[in-house]
Structure 1
């Protein structure tokens, strides 16, 4: 693969460029981008397409990891976190999908969410909402892209050795009114020690590439969450009413399941297929 990588911080860009040089690999096409800037995102998509002639893979990965009690959150808290974590994915999709559709060969979209797309937490209400949103969007988008021969995967990593914990220190001035209070650098640094135990990002990347190759709808990278999924499964089944559903509703749900199966096989479905 030849890479186009977006960045915001010049120092981060320099470090990445140095790594590629040390590895003897071709330098990526570096594109400065704030993922909430729709006009710039559109320009970046066109620049990448013009540079390479085609675009085959889109990975939406940018996000901010900011925590605090949801009941005290302000509009700025919601707008910033949702704008980056969900809005950034939306902007990537709207900007790049026409380029993927105009290209040939194997093509794929990977949206990076988080295990928070399945596991909420008391300090992560907005972050969780953003990741649930990415999950729902991606699982639905997969059916829309199949008829175009474009694969689509949702990736939900858990703890990874990154500097994501510094997000709260990079809050834009335009979203300065936070209900979470001013970020405490020392407290965040202590929280950041947990990331030192995280999975190597290269291992996460290798697992994403393997999942893409296998055309997996869901790519899970961390094995330690089996108990969580078992609890979700058992709680979900237990919450279902113990009663018979009427035949007419059963028919509608079977039509929905059949439409999903056909869509995954590449058949374009419409609302008429659901009744």
Structure 2
């Protein structure tokens, strides 16, 4: 198969949370398209199952890196291990996360610190640890941050989770402009319902964040919630869509088609909230400079503060 059809052939990707769920789907889709891989994991049984899949396909085994994405020192060591093994790293997929729900008005500091620390802090740690190495590499490179449709659609049981995904969305959409001058692509991925065991996150809460403000969830209630995930998209299909979006250099990758009504409602609400009045010329000029600067950044130009005034 030609490189035109496999443009990522031989590229090295590091994926967090990569031996279950969406992370595994991404890893398998990447492997099928010629990537060499480094995968972070937490559970040895899940790692063993992933090793068996790669063996069954006759693929090179990935570099498996045991990693808690909130551990900055370990993340830095893992970044070095990846370069030591492969020489370069070209792609980072920040995927690891926890799905924990409860009424936000009852949340404790531990609830905030755990969920934000993994879902947003883990992305930050991946960027700080890997971006210098990706910048130093050559050829096609990309950063992909996996958020969620919760980055657009809040819910009454998902305040902190939603906040973490909104944060990943804002960070990624801004980072894209910073990476363009380096020739590095950047994508925000917002998957919806996927066939994973993400609903079990509440059962894996670290002892260091044990003081929750949420009432304990009954096992039967949690298992009932988990049945919704059985209707989800196959993680491999999500992985394929992510790879296709990266190949097409899309800044936003939406994997599920069923959210058109939600976006139409959001758009209508935003437009209705705009004041029906004229803006003064000075403010109009500043906003046009901002728009022009964003377009210039997308073309790969570095933007300075004096470009905005």
The counterpart of 2:242, out of the listed 208, 212, 216, is 208
Matches of 1:23 and 1:103 in 2, distance apart?
28
Aligned to 2:142: 108
Structure of greater relative contact order (alpha carbons < 8 Å, 6+ residues apart): 2
SS in 2 for 1:110: strand
Residue 220, structure 1, aligned to residue 233, structure 2: no
Matched residue, 1:160: 194
Match of 2:123 among 85, 89, 98: 89
Q: Give, in angstroms, the shift of residue 252 of structure 1.
A: 0.1
Q: Following superposition of structure 1 onto structure 2, how do residues 99-248 of structure 1 map, counting pairs within 5 Å?
A: 99-248=133-282
Preserved contact between residue 58 and residue 96 of structure 1 (Cα < 8 Å): yes
Aligned counterparts of 1:38 and 1:253: Cα–Cα separation in 2? 38
For the residue of structure 1 that corresponds to 2:170, the secondary structure is: helix
Please identify, of 214-223 and 182-191, the stretch whose mean Cα deviation from structure 2 is larger.
182-191
Displacement of 1:22 in angstroms is 1.3
Equivalent residue, structure 2, for 1:48: 82
Give 1:18's aligned residue: 52
- Structure 1 counterpart SS, 2:143: strand
Corresponding pairs, count:
275
Q: Deviations over 1:236-261 (max 9, x none)?
A: 00000000000000000000000000
Preserved CA contact (<8 Å) 1:169 1:183 = no
- Report the CA distance between 1:266 and its aligned residue: 0.2
- 1:19 positional shift: 1.1
The answer on whether the counterparts of 1:20 and 1:27 sit within 8 Å (CA) in structure 2 is yes
Q: Deviations over 1:65-116 (max 9, x none)?
A: 0000000000000000000000000000000000100100000000000000
1:184 and 1:50 map into 2 onto residues whose CA distance is 46
User: What value does the CA root-mean-square deviation take over the aligned residues?
Assistant: 0.6
Instruction: Determine whether 1:39 maps to 2:77.
Output: no
How high is the TM-score relative to the length of structure 1?
A: 0.99
Q: Write out per-residue CA displacement over residues 141-160 of structure 1, whole angstroms, 9 at most, x where no aligned residue.
A: 00000000000000000000
Deviation of 1:184 after TM superposition, in Å, equals 2.3
Please state if 1:8 is matched with 2:42.
Answer: yes
TM-score (normalizing by structure 2): 0.88
| Structure 1 residue ranges (4+ consecutive) displaced by more than 3 angstroms after TM superposition | none
Give the distance between the partners of 1:152 and 1:184, measured in 2 at CA: 40
Structure 2, gaps ≥5 residues long: 1-34
Shift of 1:189: 1.0
